[in-house]
Amino acid sequence: MMKMKRFWIGLVIVMIVGAGFYSFTRDERNFEVAKSLDIYHTLFRELNMFYVDEVNPNKLVKTSIDEMLESLDPYTTFISEDEMEDFRFMTTGEYAGIGALISKQKDKIIIAEPYEGFPAQKFGLKAGDVLIEVEGKPTKDMNTEDVSNLLKGPANKPVKIKYERYGQKKPIEVDVVREKIHIDAVPYYGMIDNTTAYIRLSNFTVNCSNEVKKAFLELKKNNPHSLILDLRGNPGGLLMEAVEIVNFFVPKGSEIVSTRGKVTQWDKVYKAASNPIDTTIKIAVLTNSGSASASEIVAGAIQDHDRGIIVGTRTFGKGLVQTTRDLSYNTKLKVTTAKYYIPSGRCIQALDYAHRNEDGSVGNIPDSLISEFTTKKGRKVYDGGGVAPDVKFESDALSSLSINLITKYLIFDFATKFSSENESIAPPEDFFITDDIYNQFIVYVNGNNFKYESQSQAELDELIKSAKKDKYYDMAESEFEALRAKLEPNFNKDAEHFSEEIKELLQDEIVSRYYYQKGAIRAAINDDKGIKKAIEELNSETAYSGYFKTGKIISMN
């Protein structure tokens, strides 16, 4: 116990000193540090000795560390020893395991997606399989993290798995031999049409720039006139990988990003160090509110150099640079050390990262807090949070019905049923949900006693509560109840009204069962309105060139 206490107290010293007291002289700062640590030490000692229940020192101090760091920014975090494997996966894209995404469905752990070419798929596991036991341990009371930890382990060593499969009465047992799993940063690339190349980049892990380069050089053999680089939902990662990718498209020596922080010796300007691959191909970068960090460096640098257009919605707004610092006992501190600035001088960091929209995107920014900058050709651009698109295009929001069908696993479970009853389907680009398949889905959902509440209905219930509280309900009871009747969800009616979006969701899920992630992307491309908009702008010479005119404003909000 005493050894554990000394460890945690030492760790807290490192954390608090790292936060610093910037406004004090050296002597004052040292006094404040010593005073604060003495208070913390005595408080922890008294709690440990006299609190009515037994306390867990590890958990207690971990909570205090997490709360302390959370008061600084969302990205300065403590990485404990048992979290190191996940941290390595986030930065490298590699881990040793079976190569499958798992999720929890009610009280069951299921295979949500086996990755093509990796052990889970090679040893016969399929999406929808229910994991009953891993290494002889029942999974019923486990969460996904517990099961994931059992599935991971030394490469080339087997892990015993018992699972149930839809349509089969007896459980199946298999020893799956773990492998080093590397998840491709470029899950798909290809020619969308005769003149348009497409690359989807899902994250910025180690060597992802090489994957992009390989994909682009392969696509160049088709002599494309334009390129769509899809960064939607890409949370970012390694800064240097972003620099390398921009370097493919801008002249050698061009500034790409700079970092500035408290430790001025660490400030750095990153420039294109190599000769580019292509400086003339027309480029459209697809972004949304999930495009963050390194994604914003790429999108922002392309925009600031007037090298291409940004299509979609404003990016996430993460312009903070993190550095990992080694701590004792195989732990790490991921600490924000600088902000990054793209070539125009803009900082992408959201001015207020504590108050975002529900989807995590940048909220409305007052004009008084926004500064104006200019691109290489003199276009007006603005800071305040994220990269604003040249061509604003928002994807249609899903209906409440579709969201409920997803969250209650009815689309997923129907795909499991469908794939068990159909040995094969047409190629991803040719497969579509026929009226017959859709009717099968309607029957399946009705057979599962599906009930759901619309957002409108939920808000009406809240309005009725307020009306009753204010004693207005009796005056308008008939109107309220008439409106309730009109808003009452009717699955069969709503399934017809929203059939187009539900069919797209079903198509993506079913195709992934036969052709995995790449197939699902191939199937979705044909109906992707963001991609269609990008192609439209790229193919219009007047529209594309018009975006680079001097003085053209890229919207602030």
> How far is it, in rounded angstroms, from Cα 102 to Cα 104?
7
> How far is it, in rounded angstroms, from Cα 512 to Cα 509?
5
Cβ burial of 3 (10 Å; 0-12, 13-18, 19+) is exposed
Three-class secondary structure of residue 206 per DSSP: coil
The count of C-alpha atoms lying within 13 angstroms of the C-alpha of 403, restricted to the half-sphere facing its C-beta, is 9
Name the residues annotated as catalytic. 293, 304, 318
CATH architecture of 188-394: Alpha-Beta Complex (3.90)
Q: What is the DSSP string of 499-529?
A: HHHHHHHHHHHHHHHHHHHHHHHHHHHTT-H
Does domain 94-182 bear CATH number 1.10.3720.10? Answer: no
- Sorted by where each begins, the domain ranges of the chain are 2-72, 94-182, 188-394, 400-534
3-state DSSP helix/strand/coil % of the chain, to nearest 5: 40, 20, 40
Q: Quick check: 348 and 300 in contact, CB under 8 A? A: yes
Q: What is the DSSP string of 133-147?
A: EETTEE-TT--HHHH
Residue 110 pairs in a beta bridge with 103, 130
**Token duo for residue 299:** 């999108």
pLDDT of the chain, 557 residues: tens digit per residue: 444 444 444 444 444 444 444 445 677 778 888 898 899 899 999 988 899 998 888 888 889 999 999 888 888 999 887 777 777 766 666 678 999 999 999 889 999 999 999 999 999 999 999 999 999 999 988 999 899 989 998 889 999 999 999 999 999 999 999 999 888 999 999 999 999 999 999 999 999 999 999 999 999 999 999 999 999 999 999 999 999 999 999 999 999 999 999 888 889 999 999 999 999 999 999 999 999 999 999 999 999 999 999 999 999 999 888 888 998 888 899 998 999 999 999 998 876 655 666 666 666 676 667 889 999 999 999 888 889 999 998 887 899 899 999 999 999 999 999 999 999 999 999 999 999 999 999 999 999 999 887 778 778 888 888 888 888 888 888 888 888 877 778 899 899 999 999 999 999 999 999 999 999 999 999 889 999 999 999 999 889 999 998 877 776 55
Rounded to two decimals, what is the model's pTM? 0.83
Q: How far is CA 196 from CA 224, 283, 531, 534, in A?
A: 5, 10, 10, 10
Close Cβ partners of 32 (under 8 Å, ≥ 6 residues apart): 21, 24
Residue 322 pairs in a beta bridge with 336
Q: H/E element holding 103?
A: strand 100-105
Close Cβ partners of 450 (under 8 Å, ≥ 6 residues apart): 404, 405, 408, 410, 491
347 secondary structure, DSSP code: B
Three-class secondary structure of residue 10 per DSSP: helix
Close Cβ partners of 364 (under 8 Å, ≥ 6 residues apart): 557
